[in-house]
Structure 1
């Protein structure tokens, strides 16, 4: 046999898409795991023609699930960002959009029993240690995907998946402000370095030579912009305690500008070497938190945010995203407590993905090393 079959669900979670696996069906060895995921996605080619990827960073993501041994969680969610045109896998970040599909996938996989009309799934995000509660619609003893909730970047409507993110401050770094500063200058640019759900470097769009209202395609064609951002990002990563981030997608980059459609601010979110078509769920929380920090780069850009709990509306290339933030402020000290969002997910297909045996050691089979 020249190929090995691995069971999977192909799901859309929020504005991302990818295969969802049982962790036990994949190699435990990380080098082997990376080879398998590269083969699954078809990484190393701009079209991902030889795998399940879609030629875009939002469609080359992988979720791996298992029952959690933690008392406060039902499911462990291990995320992998597979590169589009390089044979590379990054396990440093998590993905909030793929997380939207974790609750439904956990129920579909039998990891969590159905509980009446809705089922609450407590998720431990392995990559960052965050805890998330997902409320999944399960009327009649099965996951419901049909509903009237629309999210920007996805056609049509679907059933809501309510998410409540806990313990998101300092996902990879030391605290809300990893450098200890509300804003600082790096390479001639003023930025704020923030870590809530996702480490980010956030700057003003106009400072980087753009309006902040361009489409994702327009920005992706702006090589000079990416060169400016990457120089700042590399130094910011070092200052944030992340070390050499030249081969890591963390920290992400965000450029903000005043809102134009009634929101609190407008953002262009970078992953970091491509502009996100819309906005990452994790990034939305970090941007909302940055707007709450007095003295941050958001000063003069973000509209005032209401007392906690407050809904922060963030405009992005395809529309807007609402984040409900719970926080406490004592003087100038901010304590970010939690963030909540409502997103949607859909099961697209289920079956087996075929992986060349060459991706594994000669006698090793997927599932036998876990």
Structure 2
């Protein structure tokens, strides 16, 4: 039976994602995956028969519902839609898309503007992370356009500060799922040091030096090392308890990337970045390709790891950068597109309570998407997330 999805296409940060209301989608995740792969044209590596953008950062979706949890405005289920294969990953979160979700909530009347800044409190159904996004709503108006830019895009958008709260162990129950700040993995003939951390989303950071790298490599240079990095992701997934022996490893989690000390490098747009401009170099993998910038959940995990004694980030970063001023520290990450800063809030006991990154978002289109052979008769107006504290 043919069906139709009514969705809105948004840019959030350096990603693009289709956003749908919960009552537009089928009841369970298998049906949602079926609908999304049809809508995106996932079976084709160019996604020509659908609305997908044929890259990991533009083949994303979120399903949004009002929340029944006290103090939470909305819940959303994030979906990483396959490219060249009809599959959907529901195992992670996307902070870039979270900025779009917050703007969507205001533009679609789920949250009313309360002042020049409006806070949208959200819970991510994939990881159960709680996010608070501050959206610019000048004069308590619903914004339609903005003029701010971020590293990775010269195109302007509406400013959104995305903050993660209570990130420790949201997916696995442990901040350090391997039980150690640094784990050693045997990858072919190499032995590499990794920090596996669950902060906002599970991530595995590799010491670039162990791979003969600097973490300032170009996209082309990173692409040559993908087999090794994907192999490390598979080993780390088992070490972090994300997969059992014989289970297929998710291409989405753990997030995997390399870390190095600051050194001069040139961004993908030709901008020269001086070593003094940032605190740690990071290059990440997105599914099966180098990430063109950095995923926000990866940035959050890296910044959180800076405050874990013995972690690779902690050992590579200048200790002075970890001293909070007025309860905040700023961790600057050197990425392929430039410096991305993560603000870390620390309480009087030295514990990390909140991490945030500045994004921009805008609505691109409002559309009805025709679906072949999809039964959309059953819908779920309520979030399926259990009530949690």
TM-score, structure 2 as length reference: 0.87
Residue equivalent to 2:361: 345
- Cα deviations by residue, 1:193-242 (Å, 9 ceiling, x for unpaired): 1111111111122322333222224322x1xx222223322222122121
5+ residue gaps, structure 2: 264-273, 383-389
- Does the residue aligned with 1:156 lie in a helix, a strand or coil? strand
Q: Secondary structure at the match of 1:269?
A: strand
The whole-number CA distance in structure 2 between the counterparts of 1:128 and 1:216 is: 29
Contact 2:200 2:301 in 1 (8 A): yes
User: What is the aligned length?
Assistant: 359
Q: Determine if the alignment matches structure 1 residue 238 to structure 2 residue 238.
A: yes
- Whether the 8 Å contact between 2:307 and 2:322 is mirrored in structure 1 is no
Most deviating of 178-187 and 142-151 = 142-151
Please give the secondary structure, in 2, of the residue aligned with 1:36. helix
* Within-5 A mapping of 1:55-70: 55-70=54-69
Is residue 252 of structure 1 aligned with residue 252 of structure 2?
no
- Equivalents in 2 of 1:15, 1:33: separation in Å? 24
Distance in 2, matches of 1:12 and 1:246, equals: 29
* Post-superposition CA distance 1:12-34 (Å, at most 9, x none): 01111011000111001222211
Structure 1 residues 369 and 290: alpha-carbon distance in aligned structure 2, compared to 1, 3 A threshold: closer
Instruction: Give SS of 1:227's match.
Output: helix
The correspondence of residues 135-146 of structure 1 with structure 2, limited to 5 A, is 135-139=134-138, 142-146=141-145
Are 1:29 and 1:369, in contact at CA under 8 Å, matched by a contact in 2?
no
Give the superposition deviation at 1:157: 2.8
CA drift at 1:107:
1.6
CA distance in 2, matches of 1:353, 1:167: 36
In the alignment, which residue of structure 1 is the partner of 2:298? 283
Match of 1:311 among 330, 339, 344: 330
Assess if the C-alpha contact under 8 Å between 1:175 and 1:195 holds in 2: yes
1:58, distance to aligned residue in structure 2 (A): 0.4
Aligned mates of 1:355, 1:18 — CA distance in 2: 18
User: What is the Cα deviation at residue 3 of structure 1?
Assistant: 3.5
Secondary structure in structure 2 of the residue aligned to 1:178: coil
Superimposed CA distance per residue, residues 74-96 of structure 1 (whole angstroms, 9 cap, x where no aligned partner):
00011011111111101010111
Q: TM-score, normalised by structure 1?
A: 0.91
* C-alpha displacement of 1:329: 8.5
C-alpha distance 217-64 of structure 1, shift in aligned 2 (>3 A):
farther
Say which is worse superposed, 299-308 or 167-176, in terms of deviation.
299-308
Q: Which of the numbers 325, 341, 349 marks the counterpart of 2:344?
A: 325
Match of 1:208 in 2: 211
Query: 2:229 touches 2:257 (CA, 8 Å); kept in 1?
Result: no
Distance 1:8 1:108 in 2: 13
Give RMSD over aligned pairs: 2.0
Contact 1:136 1:143 (C-alpha < 8 Å) held by counterparts: no
- Matched ranges for 1:1-370 at <5 A: 3-139=2-138, 142-187=141-186, 188-220=191-223, 222=224, 225-243=225-243, 244=247, 246-260=249-263, 261=274, 262-298=277-313, 300-304=315-319, 305-308=321-324, 309-327=328-346, 335-356=351-372, 358-360=373-375, 364-365=376-377, 367=379
For structure 1, which runs of at least 5 residues remain unmatched after alignment?
A: none
Tell me whether 123-132 or 233-242 shows the greater mean CA deviation: 233-242
Contact 2:98 2:162 in 1 (8 A): no
Deviations 1:51-98 (A, max 9, x none): 111110000000110000000200001101111111110101011110
Q: 1:206 to 1:254 in 2, by over 3 A?
A: same
Equivalent pair of 2:159/2:360 in contact (CA under 8 Å): yes
